[in-house]
């Protein structure tokens, strides 16, 4: 047993001595779990194309990304919203845009909603689908937990105050919202269009509905006419240089265009 303890002690000692913070050809990226899968996949491809380079992608949320970049623990932060206040001192590199769309269960006969209707539903003023032309069943309102970028974008666009929202279910990740809606014929929620569209492709029984006259499609996002959108950003403390700069440029290049568009995000280049 003492031998085991000694081995552990040495390991810890070695760990303290040479912790893997940023060496010249290592990049540490932390932040939003929405962006993390795409960036991790792109990082894998970049590593394969440039042997000897290591890019570590961790998730933990947009706030973690900002905090880690500020404290120097990460080289690049992933933030799935626009920066505000103090945060704007960081250098921002947009890599994509994501839309936020209203999602209903596929069985729901309602095909579109007006802005006023969405506001009323979320404030609890309309309680049954019958008032909207659907079946006689109570509306199950799916809402996001506070702090989420999708929530901020949604509230801002519809002019809602979070304190007035009457929710039946509160979720964390986009996928949780989608699964809740998919399992409940009378649910309504709002999620990242990228997430919803890919899930619809995989056969999940949900549908995106338009609000007003602009349909929530990739095309409308690309043209910039879809109103409820949020930027997906990478941030750094100093202007990016070296490996960080090279990787950011890679993410904006045509090489990853298909990867990004496959997630139903719109790539932002330059």
Partner 1 sequence: MAGAGSSTHRDPDRTLESTLRAAATVAGGITVGIVAFLLVGSLPALRAVGPLRFLSDPSWNPVHGAYNVVPMLVGTLVVTAGAVLLATPLAVASAVFGRFYVRGALSRTHRRILETLAGIPSVVYGLWGLMVLVPAIARVGPPGQSVLAGVLVLALMILPTIALVGDTALGAVPEAHLRGAAAAGLSRWAIARSIALPAARSGILTGILLGTGRALGETMAVVMVTGNVVQLPGSVLAPVRTLTANIALEMAYATDAHRSALFVSGLVLALLTIGLVAAVDRIAGRPEGEGTPAHVV
Partner 2 sequence: MWFRLRPSAWLDTPWRWRALAVPRDAAAHLAVWGAALAVAGAFSWILADVLLHGAPHLSLELLTAAPADAGRGGGIAPILVSTLLILGVCLLVAMPLGLGSAVLLAEFSRSANGYGRLVRRSLDVLAGLPSIVFGLFGYAFFCHALGLGFSILSGGLTLACMVLPVLIRSVEAALRAVPDDMRAASAALGLSKTTAIRSLLLPAAAPGLAVGLILGTGRALAETAALLFTSGYVVRMPESLLDSGRALSVHIYDLAMNVPGGDGMAYASALVLLGLLVGMNALATELVQRWQRRKGLVLG
Q: Which does 21 bind (CB under 5 to 8 A by kind): partner 2, partner 1, none?
A: partner 2
3-state secondary structure the chain: CHHHHHHHHHHHHHHHHCCCCCCCCEEEEEECCCCHHHHHHHHHHHHHHCCCCEEEEECCCHHHHHHHHHHCCCCEEEECCCCCHHHHHCEEEEEEEEEEEEEEECCCCCCEECHHHHHHHHCCCCCEHHHHCCCCCECEEEEECCCCHHHHHHHHHHCCCHHHCCCCEEECCHHHHHHHHHCCCCEEEEEEHHHHHHHHHCCCCEEEEEECCECCCHHHHHHCCCCCEEEEEEEECCCCCHHHHHHHHHHCCHHHHHHHHHCCCEECCC
Among 9, 44, 223, 253, binds partner 2 (CB under 8 A): 44
Q: Which does 160 bind (CB under 5 to 8 A by kind): partner 2, partner 1, none?
A: none
CA distances from 49 to 23, 35, 41, 45, 242 (A): 19, 21, 13, 6, 16
The residue behind tokens 């932040």 is 31
Q: Which does 201 bind (CB under 5 to 8 A by kind): partner 1, partner 2, none?
A: partner 2
Q: Using the rule CB under 8 A, is 145 a contact of partner 2? A: no
Could you tell me the smallest distance in angstroms from the CB atom of residue 207 to partner 2?
15
Task: Determine contact, residues 254/80, Cβ cutoff 8 Å.
Answer: no
Q: Using the rule CB under 8 A, is 40 a contact of partner 2? A: yes
Q: Which stretch binds partner 2 (CB under 8 A): 6-14, 76-84, 95-103, 107-115?
A: 6-14
Q: Using the rule CB under 8 A, is 167 a contact of partner 1? A: yes
Q: Using the rule CB under 8 A, is 12 a contact of partner 2? A: yes
Q: Using the rule CB under 8 A, is 26 a contact of partner 2? A: no
Could you tell me the smallest distance in angstroms from the CB atom of residue 137 to partner 2?
26
Q: Using the rule CB under 8 A, is 187 a contact of partner 1? A: yes
Among 33, 62, 150, 220, binds partner 2 (CB under 8 A): 33
Could you tell me the smallest distance in angstroms from the CB atom of residue 130 to partner 2?
32
Q: Using the rule CB under 8 A, is 233 a contact of partner 1? A: no
- Residues in contact with partner 2 by CB under 8 A are 1, 4-5, 8, 11-12, 14-16, 18-21, 33-34, 36-38, 40-41, 44, 47, 54, 56-60, 172-176, 178, 194-199, 201-202, 263
> Interface residues with partner 1 (CB under 8 A)?
1, 33, 60-64, 137-138, 140, 145-149, 162-163, 167-172, 176, 179-180, 182-184, 186-187
């Amino acid at each position: 047993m003492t031998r085991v303890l000694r081995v552990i002690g040495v390991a810890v000692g070695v760990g303290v001595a040479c912790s893997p913070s940023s060496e010249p050809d290592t990049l540490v990226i932390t932040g939003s779990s929405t962006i993390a899968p795409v960036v991790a996949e792109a990082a894998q491809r970049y590593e394969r194309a440039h042997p000897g380079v290591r890019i570590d992608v961790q998730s933990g949320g947009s706030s973690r990304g900002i905090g880690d970049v500020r404290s120097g623990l990460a080289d690049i932060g992933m933030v799935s919203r626009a920066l505000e206040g103090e945060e704007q001192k960081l250098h921002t590199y947009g890599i994509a845009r994501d839309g936020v769309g209203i999602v209903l269960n596929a069985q729901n006969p309602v095909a579109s909603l007006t802005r006023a209707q969405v506001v009323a539903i979320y404030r609890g003023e309309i309680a049954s689908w019958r008032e909207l032309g659907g079946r006689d069943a109570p509306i199950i309102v799916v809402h996001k937990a506070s702090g989420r970028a999708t929530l901020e974008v949604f509230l801002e666009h519809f002019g809602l105050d979070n304190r007035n929202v009457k929710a039946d279910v509160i979720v964390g990740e986009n996928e949780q919202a989608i699964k809740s809606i998919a399992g409940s014929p009378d649910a309504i929620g709002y999620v990242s269009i990228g997430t919803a569209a890919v899930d619809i492709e995989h056969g999940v029984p949900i549908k995106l509905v338009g609000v007003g006259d602009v349909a929530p499609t990739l095309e409308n996002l690309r043209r910039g006419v879809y109103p409820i959108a949020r930027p997906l950003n990478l941030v750094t403390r100093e202007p990016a240089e070296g490996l960080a700069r090279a990787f950011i440029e890679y993410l904006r290049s045509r090489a990853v265009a298909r990867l990004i568009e496959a997630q139903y995000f719109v790539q932002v280049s330059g």
